[in-house]
Amino acid sequence: MNIFELIPKDLKEEVFETILSSEKLSIERIISHGQSSPLSGWYEQEKNEWVILLQGEALISFESKEDVKLVAGDYLHIPTLERHRVAWTQPNVVTIWLAIHY
């Protein structure tokens, strides 16, 4: 498999694909195309998350600290229960993320 292949043509919604999963670890590919998190909620995950942006650009907002802009190659660690949301992804480019939850 190649992380940049088999991109769905219909990207009206963000796509979450599990690559590998176990009790303590999950790895997923996320594909965005202009999507953001709902304004009404925050992600508040029970596991740590390490994410790298492989293609595109994005803006991550945090409840308790400054926003972080990501471009291809940038990575970010989000500790357990840290409230965050995707505020913006590039609308004219497919954004590809690799997220590791542990």
* pLDDT tens digits, one per residue of 31-75: 999 999 887 789 999 999 999 999 999 999 999 999 999 999 999
Q: Report the pLDDT value the prediction gives residue 37, as an integer from 0 to 100.
A: 86
Overall average pLDDT of the 90-96 stretch: 95
Cβ neighbours, 10 Å, residue 33: 20
As a whole number of angstroms, the distance between CA 89 and CA 5 comes to 20
Residue ranges and CATH numbers for the domains of the chain are 25-101 (2.60.120.10)
Instruction: Provide the pLDDT confidence category of residue 17 given band limits of 50, 70 and 90.
Output: very high
CA-based Rg of the chain, rounded to a whole angstrom?
A: 13
Does the predicted model carry a pTM greater than 0.85?
yes
As a whole number of angstroms, the distance between CA 95 and CA 17 comes to 14
Q: Report the pLDDT value the prediction gives residue 41, as an integer from 0 to 100.
A: 81
As a whole number of angstroms, the distance between CA 16 and CA 86 comes to 14
Q: Report the pLDDT value the prediction gives residue 53, as an integer from 0 to 100.
A: 98
